[in-house]
Amino acid sequence: MKRPTLIDVGREAGVSAITVSRALREPEKVSKALRDRISKAIDKLGYVPNPAAASLASNRSSIIAVLVPSFSNNVFSDVLSGTNAVLEKTGYSIQIANTGYNPIAEEGMIRKFVSLSPAGVIIAGVDQTAASRKMLKDVDCPVVQIMDITDDPVDVIVGFSNFDAAATSVEHMVAQGYRRIAFVGTRMDPRTQQRMAGYEAVMRKHQLYDASLFITTPQKSSVEIGRHLLAGLLDKVPDCDGVFCNNDDVAVGIALECQRRNLAVPEAFGICGFNDLGTTSQMNPAITSVYTPRVEIGERAAQYIIDRNAGHPKPEVRNIDLGFTLKVRASTLRTGTG
Amino acid sequence: MKRPTLIDVGREAGVSAITVSRALREPEKVSKALRDRISKAIDKLGYVPNPAAASLASNRSSIIAVLVPSFSNNVFSDVLSGTNAVLEKTGYSIQIANTGYNPIAEEGMIRKFVSLSPAGVIIAGVDQTAASRKMLKDVDCPVVQIMDITDDPVDVIVGFSNFDAAATSVEHMVAQGYRRIAFVGTRMDPRTQQRMAGYEAVMRKHQLYDASLFITTPQKSSVEIGRHLLAGLLDKVPDCDGVFCNNDDVAVGIALECQRRNLAVPEAFGICGFNDLGTTSQMNPAITSVYTPRVEIGERAAQYIIDRNAGHPKPEVRNIDLGFTLKVRASTLRTGTG
DNA sequence: CTGTTAGCGCCTTCAT
DNA sequence: ATGAAGGCGCTAACAG
């Protein structure tokens, strides 16, 4: 009743264990006849490899470590969907950890993951601690940073410029005649801060910058928090005529609060969200948002790991910018021209 | 520069490897003096255990396998958050797989997970194949089914009755005077079908049952699909006066489409969602929904695994019903009495 | 193309 | 309370 091993399979097929091992890992190095015999023996005995033994002997595992800052965030579930879709037909498995936007916690998680000899690491952002970065440099597997872009990735980065995405959005709002545009930011993680910087750059460029237009909170984003933030914003800045939000949930909350207050969107007040998670496009009026290629980022990250482990060389371009798309909708369209 | 092993730590501390191993796993069996020496040696060398070796030698791992039907689903990200919160201070790690609502795929994933000698398995629902169920019965670790309830779990189940939750919601709508209540179901997974059964039972009981009131689609739920489904529903059943949705996103989409059509909610049309994911409560009017204890389910599942592995006996009550709460809001309140 | 040998790092068992 | 011996199942390295 005990679980069969390679030796058992080998005995059944009349070959040695190592041949079975080869038939599984490098079938082209084993003759067709043997492959067939071995495969029958495997089925007959119900053999399933022991990954712990494989990992111990070879000093590498089939585990891809994924470090995200939050589970309850559609952004990262989309990334994970993409990664999973690419990986599920392969032998890799996904082990995840939630860093909770905490670089120190992240460091510990990286240390633990490194001890697994992972087949790859996918990690959100570029703001790792020095120690984290060193571990990621030293680990003997592909490492993909995601959701951001930089000239100096640990290995490779797949993402987009949060700064540019924000700047593009705010430029659009300015072009639509909005002047007193607030920045509404929740949680204020590094990527949100980059969006804030993009907002600020454009506002300064147009001499519209005003420190009182920043509305931020360390709380996580939600529709509810969006509603509350709008109330606070209108108290503080009564002549505010629009918002750029770091997140779609907040934008939806603000839109719903505008409905309640009969604040005319887009005429009196413009709203722009971020990520284009799906609800924004359905609102009345539809909300402008920045589409970000989350699923594709997850897919590309996984594919990179597969390719490198299959022997592909490290590519020359190590920052893969997948861009973003400003989805202009009614909530910021005053001129009718886009 | 090679990674230190227990032997290296032992040499540094002047003890044998096995003593270091004990100091790590069963500190109470090692004298205080040695523990201190060993812990210094570990820090000095930067020793991190090799989980593959541990797993191979002991025939069990620290991996908790989590099988969910979807990543892009707030329900399961909440469960995962709860599980992760309980597990993150422990030595366990989480390995996830996405079954895609496919029992055959699920079977393969279980087979693979079982080969890891996991420390626990968390799996959504009760509709596993016979082969899956057998593997889960045979695996030598705690197994927790979640998001449902049954008298006959594989090991333990933590969830709530989808049938009762739906029945309670529909009873409420009937009490509020709605008569031509439609069931709007997306994806039609097993739990959705139970909700449909709960709806049907109540409609039959009140002699309100009508087969044309079922609107279903295999597509995944979204705000957008909700809007389209309402359009189809009103074409097909013009006198329809309310909907019970299997999902909040769909309910939100329907509410937004009602806004657009100037269909008065709750007066002319009642809307009830499912799961109470957060946006429903913020809508205009606020949408009634069934709150489900998703985070707590994830927490309890993880805690059960920890407890059993710490030697706690299998509890007598093996189906842990955490219930649900109908959150009555404006979208179904015609009488003002709740 | 196939086999032999020798571990990988840790834990189980048994001894002291 | 600590240690010695042996093996978990697999694969790297080298033979043939």
pLDDT tens figures, A19-66: 999 999 888 888 888 888 999 999 999 999 999 999 999 999 999 999
The amino acid present at B151, given as its one-letter code, is D
Contact of B270 with B292, CB cutoff 8 Å: no
The amino acid present at B50, given as its one-letter code, is N
pLDDT digits (tens, 9 = 90+) for A129-185: 999 999 999 999 999 999 999 999 999 999 999 999 999 999 999 999 999 999 999
pLDDT at site B1: 59
A172 Cβ contact partners less than 8 Å away, ≥ 6 residues apart:
A272, A288, A326, A328, A332
Q: Is B281 at the interface with chain A, CB within 8 A?
A: yes
Q: Which CATH code for domain B6-49? A: 1.10.260.40
Q: What is the DSSP string of A243-279?
A: EEESSHHHHHHHHHHHHHHT--TTTT-EEEEEE--SS
Q: Is B97 at the interface with chain A, CB within 8 A?
A: yes
Q: How many CA atoms lie within 13 A of B281 on its CB side?
A: 15
Fold held by A162-291: Rossmann fold (3.40.50)
Strand D reaches within 7 A of the A21 CB: yes
pLDDT at site A337: 56
SS3 annotation, A112-125: HHHCCCCCEEEEEC
Contact of B324 with B164, CB cutoff 8 Å: yes
- Residue where the block lists tokens 């949408």: B287
Q: How many CA atoms lie within 13 A of B132 on its CB side?
A: 23
Question: Average pLDDT, whole number, for chain A?
Answer: 94
pLDDT at site A34: 85
* Cis, bond preceding A153 (omega within 30 deg of 0): no
Residues 43-82 of A with CB under 7 A from strand D: 47, 49-50, 53-54, 56-58
Query: Averaged over A273-287, what is the pLDDT?
Result: 97
Q: Is B94 at the interface with chain A, CB within 8 A?
A: yes
Residue nearest to nucleotide D11 (CA to C1'): A57
Tell me the C-alpha distance between B216 and B210, whole Å: 14
Binding-face residues of A in 22-61 toward B, CB within 8 A: 48-53, 55-56, 61
pLDDT at site A229: 97
B279–A53: do the CB atoms touch at under 8 Å? Answer: no
Query: Averaged over A114-120, what is the pLDDT?
Result: 93
Residues 10-29 of B with CB under 7 A from strand C: 17-18, 21, 24-25
Phi and psi at residue B110, in whole multiples of 5°? -65, -45
Binding-face residues of B in 118-177 toward A, CB within 8 A: none
Helix axes B51-58, A51-58, angle to 10 degrees: 130
- State the DSSP H helix or E strand holding residue B318, giving kind and residue range, or none if neither: none
Q: Is B186 helix (H, G, I), strand (E, B) or coil?
A: strand
Cα→Cα distances A206→A171, A173, A210, Å: 9, 12, 11
Least CB–CB distance from A284: residue in B74, B95, B260? B260
The residue in chain B having the minimum alpha-carbon distance to the alpha carbon of residue A106 is B88
The residue in chain B having the minimum alpha-carbon distance to the alpha carbon of residue A54 is B52
Cβ count near A8 (within 10 Å): 17
- Residue where the block lists tokens 């009488």: B335
The residue in chain B having the minimum alpha-carbon distance to the alpha carbon of residue A55 is B52
Residue A265 scores a pLDDT above 60: yes
Q: A115 is written with which tokens?
A: 């001890």
Strand D reaches within 7 A of the A295 CB: no
Domain boundaries, chain A: 6-49, 58-160+297-322, 162-291
Q: How far is the CA of A11 from the C1' of D12 (A)?
A: 22
Residue A297 scores a pLDDT above 90: yes
Contact of B255 with B315, CB cutoff 8 Å: no
Helix axes A32-45, A6-13, angle to 10 degrees: 120
Q: How far is the CA of A138 from the C1' of D3 (A)?
A: 35
Q: Is B63 at the interface with chain A, CB within 8 A?
A: yes
Strand D reaches within 7 A of the A32 CB: no
- Residue where the block lists tokens 């969910």: B68
Selecting from 3.40.50.2300, 3.40.605.10, 2.60.120.260, 3.40.50.1860, what CATH number does the domain B58-160+297-322 have? 3.40.50.2300
Give the angle A97-A102-A105 at the CA atoms, nearest 5°. Answer: 60
Least CB–CB distance from B284: residue in A115, A222, A256? A256
Q: How many CA atoms lie within 13 A of B188 on its CB side?
A: 8
Note the residue count of chain B: 338
pLDDT at site A181: 98
Contact of B75 with B297, CB cutoff 8 Å: no
Helix axes A130-138, A103-114, angle to 10 degrees: 20
What is the distance of C-alpha B48 from the center of its chain? 32
Chain B interface, best mutation among A93, A112, A247, by max B CB count within 10 A: A93
Tell me the C-alpha distance between A181 and A169, whole Å: 11
Contacts of B227 in chain A (CB under 8 A): 282
Residue nearest to nucleotide C11 (CA to C1'): B57
Q: Is A96 at the interface with chain B, CB within 8 A?
A: yes
B73–A71: do the CB atoms touch at under 8 Å? Answer: no
- Give the count of Cβ contacts less than 8 A between chain A and B: 121
Contact of A283 with A252, CB cutoff 8 Å: yes
Enumerate helices (H) and strands (E) in chain B, giving the number of each.
12, 12
pLDDT at site A338: 52
Query: Averaged over A262-273, what is the pLDDT?
Result: 97
Contacts of A96 in chain B (CB under 8 A): 94-96
pLDDT at site B3: 86
Point out the nucleotide closest to A25 (alpha carbon to C1′). D11
- The nearest CA of chain A is from the CA of B103 a distance in Å of 15
The residue in chain B having the minimum alpha-carbon distance to the alpha carbon of residue A98 is B84
Q: Which residues, listed in sequence order, are joined to residue A146 by a DSSP beta bridge?
A: A124, A158
Least CB–CB distance from B52: residue in A61, A73, A94? A61
Give the residue from B279, B265, B281 showing the smallest Cα distance to B329.
B281
Phi and psi at residue A261, in whole multiples of 5°? -90, 0
Q: What is the DSSP string of B2-67?
A: PPP-HHHHHHHHTS-HHHHHHHHH-GGGS-HHHHHHHHHHHHHHT----HHHHHHHHS--SEEEEE
Stretches where chain B sits below pLDDT 70 are: 1, 336-338
Burial A122-160 (b: 16+ CB within 10 A, else e): bbbbbbbeeebbebbeebebbbbbbbbbeeebbbbbbbb
Residue A8 scores a pLDDT above 60: yes
Indicate if the alpha-carbon torsion angle B125, A73, B90, A119 is positive or negative. Answer: positive
- Residue where the block lists tokens 């399961």: B76
Q: B220 is written with which tokens?
A: 């995944």
A322 Cβ contact partners less than 8 Å away, ≥ 6 residues apart:
A158, A159, A160, A293, A296, A297, A300
Burial B320-336 (b: 16+ CB within 10 A, else e): beeebebbbbebbbbee
B88–A98: do the CB atoms touch at under 8 Å? Answer: yes
Q: A249 is written with which tokens?
A: 């949930």
Tell me the C-alpha distance between B177 and B171, whole Å: 10
Instruction: Strand C: list positions under 7 Å from protein Cβ.
Output: 1-5, 7-13
Binding-face residues of A in 284-313 toward B, CB within 8 A: 284
Identical topology for domains A58-160+297-322 and A162-291: yes
A155 Cβ contact partners less than 8 Å away, ≥ 6 residues apart:
A136, A142, A143, A144, A145, A314, A318
Tell me the C-alpha distance between A250 and A256, whole Å: 10
Q: B24 is written with which tokens?
A: 């790590």
Residue B57, burial from CB neighbour count under 10 angstroms (0-12, 13-18, 19+): exposed
- The nearest CA of chain B is from the CA of A318 a distance in Å of 28
Q: Is B5 at the interface with chain A, CB within 8 A?
A: no
Q: Is A260 at the interface with chain B, CB within 8 A?
A: yes
Strand A63-68's sheet: what is its strand order? A319-321, A156-159, A143-146, A120-124, A63-68, A93-98, B93-98, B63-68, B120-124, B143-146, B156-159, B319-321
Strand D reaches within 7 A of the B50 CB: no
Q: A72 is written with which tokens?
A: 């309850």
Contact of A126 with A145, CB cutoff 8 Å: yes
B97–A94: do the CB atoms touch at under 8 Å? Answer: yes
Provide long-range contacts, Cβ within 8 A and 24+ apart, for A225-228.
Answer: A225/A186, A225/A249, A225/A250, A225/A253, A226/A184, A226/A250, A226/A251, A226/A252, A226/A253, A226/A254, A226/A256, A226/A257, A227/A253, A227/A254, A227/A256, A227/A257, A227/B282, A228/A253
Tell me the C-alpha distance between B322 and B158, whole Å: 7
* Higher-scoring residue by pLDDT: B28, A319: A319
Residue A329 scores a pLDDT above 90: yes
Q: Is A227 at the interface with chain B, CB within 8 A?
A: yes
